[in-house]
Every structure is written in C-alpha cells, then in structure tokens.
Amino acid sequence: MTETIVFLDRDSLAPGTELRRPGFAHVWIDHAETGPGEVAGRIRDATVVVTNKVKVGAGDMDAAPGLRLIAVCATGTDIIDLAAARARGITVCNVRGYAERSVPEHVFGLILALRRQIPGYTADVKAGKWQEAGSFTFFTHELRDLYGTRLAIVGRGSLGQGVARIARGFGMETVFVGRKGEASPPDGLLPWDEAVETADVLTLHCPLTPETRGMIGIGELRRMKRTALVINTARGGLIDEAALARALTEGLIAGAGIDVVSSEPPPADHPFMALVGRPDFILTPHTAWAGHTARKAMVDQLIDNIENFHKDTPTNVV
C-alpha cells in the first residue's frame, strides 16, 4: 500500500531542519502553513497526517475516510480531538523526550537572566547609566543568587527531571509538586499550596488539560514570595495570562520568563505585549524546544513513528 502523507505545517520546523523520508512507498505532500478552514480539504486523500500545531478535529477526520494515523510532530496532543480519533479507529502518536536537554537549558537561560538582572542592566548600560554613575560598577537592580534557593517543578517527566539535574548543579533545593487541590500527594511530592508559598522559582513542565488550564491564577500569584520567579516553557494556557501581567505590574512576584502563550503569536493587545521591555519579564517565541540536537531527535522520532505504524508496530501512541 502506498501511503499518502500530508504535513500540514512544515514551516513550523526551524529553517535548515532536515526531514528524512520514510523507507516505504509513499506520496509526501508538504504545506508550509494550514489555516483552520483548510484542514479538511488538504487531508481528504491522506492516510497519514503530520501536524505540529495545526488542529485536527472530528469534522476534519470525517473528510478523510482513508486516514489511519495522525503523527504529531510535538509532545502536546491538545490540538487533536483524541476522542474523535479513537471513535474512528485513527491512531494518534507524538514525539517524546526529544527536548530533554534543550528545554532545561532554555529554562535556566530565563532564570539566570532574571536573577542576574541581565535585561535590566543591559538596558541601563545602553542608556548611559554606567557613565553617569562614575564608578567601576553601579547597582540599579537587585541581584539574587540561585544557591540555596527552592526550585519547585510542576511535572516529573523528562523535562522536569532535566531541569532538576541542572538545578542541583547550582546548589538549589529541587522539589516536585503535587496536583493542585490534592491534599495528600504521593510520597516525594510537595503539596501544591506549600510549593506555591515557598518556591523561589516555580517552573511548569506539565501538559495542558482541563484540569491544568489556568492552574496559576491571581490567587496563586498573591500567595507567592515577592521575590519569586514564574517560568513557563510548557503551554500558555497553564497560566492566567492577564493575572500574571497584573502580578508583575503590582509587584506581587519578582519576575517571569515565558516561552509559550495561549495564542501564538500573541495579538498586539495581549497582556504580555505591554510587558515586553520590562527588566522583570522575558518573552521568547516558543523556542525552548528548538536546539539543533533536539530538532534532529524530534524529526527522527517522527519518521520512526510513521515507519513503525506502517509495520503494524506503532510507537508513542497517545
């Protein structure tokens, strides 16, 4: 059987990312981008659909009677109507663990930039404040060390574990956090409320689900230390973004490093856009995953998933 494979958003991969083709008879069709109204028409003849961030819903699946596999070129599968796929006998698989070095490095890039006040001092130097100070140094922003501080990690997968390994090298106390609302979490997990109230840095590495959506709201932000940082490289919907903008404006927390937004790219009137340029806020364009070794591992695993499915030995099935 010749598979017809349709990649809905090939340009979502960074430029220069090489993608090998499966080792079986197939037709491969790339689309640079695909709008919501274009999905059904583009996958009508597909047996395999590849998507990174394009949503595939029940109606799209109904338009593709030969569709047997949706291969997500990412870990998060919230873009797929999984119940609809199961009801139609369509397998969904994802890629896992590919960014277990890239994302933790990005997390610490954000943490260090905020703790060492690099954006603020860079802006001050550019504005001539060093010359105005007339000294070998000057202090316009409070510097805080990482050693001995508490890093609370939400999510114990490969990314959370990778962050913990780096943190221990800095001499941080690392704790993994139990579920929100869970009074007695399993052994080894810190209760949610205690983590929120005692963390010096709170970093998110969990999937976006109905239970985790908006898990960081104004209530949590008000209870955090005024010196605390919030880091999110997982999914934008995990945080009430208007509440985070308010918390920074009101000084409820010391800073936030964000790589993901609920709407990507964020519109001009998004609360985060008014914060860009502040020394206590860093927004990167969903690039934590995109280190060169991570990209290669991701696309290799993607093709492995497609080949394994073709051999009736599916892998990474959601």
The set of catalytic residues is 235, 264, 286
* Helix (H) / strand (E) containing 262: none
| Terminal Cα distance for the chain, rounded | 24
Report the alpha-carbon distance of residue 236 to residue 283 in Å, rounded: 12
- Alpha-carbon distances of 207 from 154, 225, 284, rounded to whole Å: 10, 25, 19
Report the alpha-carbon distance of residue 165 to residue 159 in Å, rounded: 10
10 Å CB burial of residue 40 (0-12, 13-18, 19+) is: middle
* Helix (H) / strand (E) containing 159: helix 158-169
Report the alpha-carbon distance of residue 127 to residue 268 in Å, rounded: 26
188: Cβ contacts below 8 Å, ≥ 6 apart: 176
Report the alpha-carbon distance of residue 67 to residue 21 in Å, rounded: 19
34, 42 Cβ separation under 8 angstroms: yes
Beta bridge partners of residue 93, listed in sequence order: 71, 317
* Nearest Cα to Cα of residue 286 among 253, 304, 269, 261: 261
